[in-house]
Amino acid sequence: MLKVRNASPYKFSSDIYNNINKDSNYLRGAAASDLSFIGLYKEALIQYDKPRNEIKKISAEDSVNFLINYHPVNARKFIIQKAKENQILIFNEAHHNPRNRVFVTSLLKDLKNAGYKYFAAETFMNDSFFVKEKHPVFFTGFYTMEPQFGNLVREALKLNFTLYPYEAIPITGGKQREIGEAKNLQTLLKKRPKR
């Protein structure tokens, strides 16, 4: 019997679920991200939320205060207005949830029209591939393997955004990583003070 080795970084769903069942160190975030990478978005959300059985109780007073002090606004309009008023716009994301990336993709044209030229992401590991490839490839970055992140990169390149890697190398984690990433972004801002 011929055994084929999977050279792809993508995992089969059966392997992901086997890892979940046998390895308590297979963090829910890692499992959820692996599921999202292969397009199993609902399963990723379920897996990520599984360990969270506790429900935080909110007091009646907090609920009333929330309703009095906050009101819904159109997220797209609000973000684009804030983008016009600021030099930097930062989106946080849940690595396992591609809806964040779909939303950011939908904002790119408006951000370009607002004067933004750079798209920075910590997942980008090297800027040389952008010039050569013009589309995401395996070595673009870890999270760009997720299909919606790949679409986000394609759209940004199509709109002529300059993609900027700001991951701290070597990747250490914790506070040192955050400081390194902030310094890398500061370097971009000093070289290119405009959006």
**Per residue in 5-22, pLDDT tens?**
445 678 999 999 998 888
Phi-psi region of 174 (alpha: psi -120 to 50; beta: other; left: phi over 0): left
CA distance 187 to 181: 10
> What pLDDT, on the 0 to 100 scale, is given for residue 148?
94
> What pLDDT, on the 0 to 100 scale, is given for residue 84?
94
Tell whether the model's pLDDT for residue 3 goes beyond 50. no
| φ, ψ for residue 163, nearest 5 deg | -90, 135
Give the pTM. 0.79
CA distance 79 to 94: 18
Q: Which amino acid is at 21?
A: N
CA distance 181 to 169: 9
Mean pLDDT of 64-83: 92
> What pLDDT, on the 0 to 100 scale, is given for residue 183?
92
Tell whether the model's pLDDT for residue 1 goes beyond 50. no
Domain ranges of the chain: 13-49, 75-191
CB 89 within 8 A of CB 83: yes
- Tell the burial category of 156 from Cβ atoms under 10 Å away from its Cβ (0-12, 13-18, 19+): buried
Instruction: Give the number of other Cβ atoms within 10 Å of residue 162's Cβ.
Output: 14
CA distance 174 to 181: 11
Range list of β-strands (E), 65-106 = none
CA distance 110 to 118: 13
Greater pLDDT, 52 or 60: 60
DSSP SS3 for 121: strand
Among 19-33, 67-81, 137-151, 181-195, which is the least confidently predicted range? 19-33
Mean of per-residue pLDDT scores for the chain: 84
Range list of β-strands (E), the chain = 118-121, 162-165
CA distance 5 to 134: 29
CA distance 149 to 79: 20
Q: How far is CA 55 from CA 49, 52, 149, in A?
A: 12, 8, 31
CB 188 within 8 A of CB 166: yes
> What pLDDT, on the 0 to 100 scale, is given for residue 16?
92
